[in-house]
């Protein structure tokens, strides 16, 4: 009696009917399997080297040790992380700011060639970044800017997605408030900075999260333009732990590699779990019209 009312309440609470239960359970199993690689990564990273390659499958380490993490820090990982942080934060801040300014201009101002400008902007979404990578590589090399933060930051700040999100937002925002401020004598930039931008909090957060993840995870460009071990970003630095292109894993074993990528994925995963709503909002916004 008690059990059956409890079950009913559970179904009601979970928005389910009794015949939904099997599908519900299958879905849960699939989702747990889906994150199993992460569990395996973290678990391996805490195993002592001798227990990494066991005959039986051991989902949890018999002994939890920090040996792998200590080995990781024998490489300039802290420096790589710092590089990544500097580059991602600067790129994101500038990307959001420039995107907001350009988006605002496209939504509010009338200037000759505006429509053409917007059309070219959208068209450039279709152009693969790799199309520009060889000429950019040559360009940066020739002006002697390889191995620098500028080389990592400069190509990322004019982000089309960012412009697009802000344009859509400002188009949908009634202009009355800004008009009132303009009548009170505020300059065009003052209106943007004091009135429009504070209202754009939600697209700002969504864009910032999107750009930060994009910049933090950026791979091909930093791989090309950085030759100095000390100037590498974290994804590129840690990539040398893969057995096919780097020698680190063969020397150190998978435990160290897993410790490295656990550290690397931590910021992204943490930001994601705390700010999930914004991620999903950002992707559906850009994706649908992008």
Residues 115-154 that bind other proteins (CB under 8 A): 120-121, 124, 126-139, 141
Distance CA 58, CA 53 (A): 9
Token match 């790129």: residue?
91
What b/e sequence results for 216-241 when a residue is b if at least 16 CB atoms lie within 10 Å of its CB, and e otherwise?
A: bebeebbebbbeeeebbbbbbbbbbb
- Considering only CA atoms, give the Rg of the chain: 25
Closest distance to other proteins from the beta carbon of 132 (Å): 4
Among 100, 195, 238, 252, binds other proteins (CB under 8 A): 238
Q: Which is nearer to other proteins, 186 or 223 (CB)?
A: 223
Stretch that binds other proteins, among 7-15, 85-93, 167-175, 199-207 (CB under 8 A): 7-15
DSSP SS3 for 58: coil
Distance CA 250, CA 244 (A): 9
Among 92, 240, 168, 282, which Cα is nearest to 232's? 240
Q: Which is nearer to other proteins, 111 or 273 (CB)?
A: 273
Residues 189-218 contacting other proteins, CB under 8 A = 213, 216-217
Binding status of residue 160 toward other proteins by CB under 8 A:
yes
Closest distance to other proteins from the beta carbon of 201 (Å): 21
Contact 68, 132 (CB under 8 A): no
Among 104, 161, 241, 278, binds other proteins (CB under 8 A): 241
Closest distance to other proteins from the beta carbon of 65 (Å): 18
Among 27, 109, 190, 229, binds other proteins (CB under 8 A): 27
Closest distance to other proteins from the beta carbon of 230 (Å): 18
Residues 247-276 contacting other proteins, CB under 8 A = 249, 254, 257-258, 260-261, 264-265, 268-269, 271-273, 276
Among 66, 171, 220, 247, binds other proteins (CB under 8 A): 220
Token match 């400002």: residue?
170
Among 36, 76, 35, 43, which Cα is nearest to 258's? 43
Closest distance to other proteins from the beta carbon of 41 (Å): 5
**Burial class (CB within 10 angstroms; exposed 0-12, middle 13-18, buried 19+) of 158:** middle
Distance CA 193, CA 182 (A): 12
Binding status of residue 72 toward other proteins by CB under 8 A:
no
Closest distance to other proteins from the beta carbon of 30 (Å): 8
């Amino acid at each position: 009696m008690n059990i059956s009312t409890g079950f009913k309440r559970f179904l009601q609470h979970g928005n389910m009917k009794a015949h939904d239960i099997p599908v519900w359970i299958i879905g849960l199993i699939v989702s747990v399997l889906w994150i199993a690689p992460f569990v395996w990564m973290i678990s391996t990273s805490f195993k002592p080297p001798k227990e990494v390659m066991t005959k039986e499958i051991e989902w949890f380490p018999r002994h939890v040790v920090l040996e792998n993490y200590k080995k990781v820090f024998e490489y300039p990982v802290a420096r790589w992380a710092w590089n990544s942080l500097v580059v991602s934060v600067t790129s994101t801040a500038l990307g959001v700011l420039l995107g907001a300014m350009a988006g605002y201009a496209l939504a509010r101002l009338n200037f000759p060639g505006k429509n053409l400008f917007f059309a070219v902007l959208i068209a450039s979404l279709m152009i693969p970044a790799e199309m520009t990578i060889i000429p950019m590589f040559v360009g940066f090399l020739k002006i002697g800017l390889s191995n620098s933060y500028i080389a990592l930051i400069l190509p990322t700040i004019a982000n089309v997605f960012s412009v697009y999100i802000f344009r859509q937002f400002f188009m949908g925002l009634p202009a009355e408030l800004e008009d009132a401020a303009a009548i009170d004598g505020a300059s065009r930039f003052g209106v943007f900075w004091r009135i429009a931008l504070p209202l754009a909090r939600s697209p700002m957060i969504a864009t910032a999260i999107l750009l930060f993840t994009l910049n933090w995870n950026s791979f091909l460009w930093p791989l090309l333009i950085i030759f100095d071990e000390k100037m590498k970003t974290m994804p590129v630095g840690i990539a040398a732990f893969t057995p096919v292109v780097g020698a680190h894993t063969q020397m150190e074993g998978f435990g160290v590699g897993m410790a490295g990528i656990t550290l690397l994925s931590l910021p992204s995963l943490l930001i994601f779990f705390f700010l999930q709503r914004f991620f999903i909002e950002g992707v559906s916004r850009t994706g649908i019209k992008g």
